[in-house]
Amino acid sequence: MSKLLIETVSADEVRPVPPRIKFGSGFSAFDKVDAFDNDGWWAGKVTGQRGPLYLVYFETTGDEIAYHVSRLRIHLDWVNGKWVSSKKMVS
């Protein structure tokens, strides 16, 4: 019989959900993105595109995985209590 997984984190590691961001014409090579995989968001860099799929490289694991655009978002960092991005945004 399996048990529920319980994870404990310190309060300073808890952040609000990042805002939804509209962006121009998709992602470009070397854009920093977050990919939704394995029940979480993981930071990586776009290395290419194959139709609706983007190749994302993860430096921490050395993996390159193809994701549909619907599973990607622009990477945001939590800095001084605010979400910030270096990617140009469209309102």
Q: Where are the beta strands (DSSP E) in 1-91?
A: 32-37, 40-50, 53-58, 63-68, 72-74, 77-79, 82-84
* Residue 75 located in a structural domain: yes
Phi, psi of 6 (to 5 degrees): -120, 125
Number of domains in the chain: 1
- Could you give the dihedral angle defined by the CA atoms of residues 47, 49, 52 and 58, in that order, rounded to the nearest 10 degrees? -20
* Residue 68 located in a structural domain: yes
* Residue 5 located in a structural domain: no
The enclosing domain of 55 has a CATH number of 2.30.30.140
* Residue 45 located in a structural domain: yes
pLDDT tens, residue by residue, 59-88: 999 999 999 999 999 999 888 888 998 665
Domain encompassing residue 35:
20-83
pLDDT tens, residue by residue, 1-59: 788 888 898 888 888 888 887 766 689 999 999 999 988 899 999 999 998 899 999 99
* Residue 47 located in a structural domain: yes
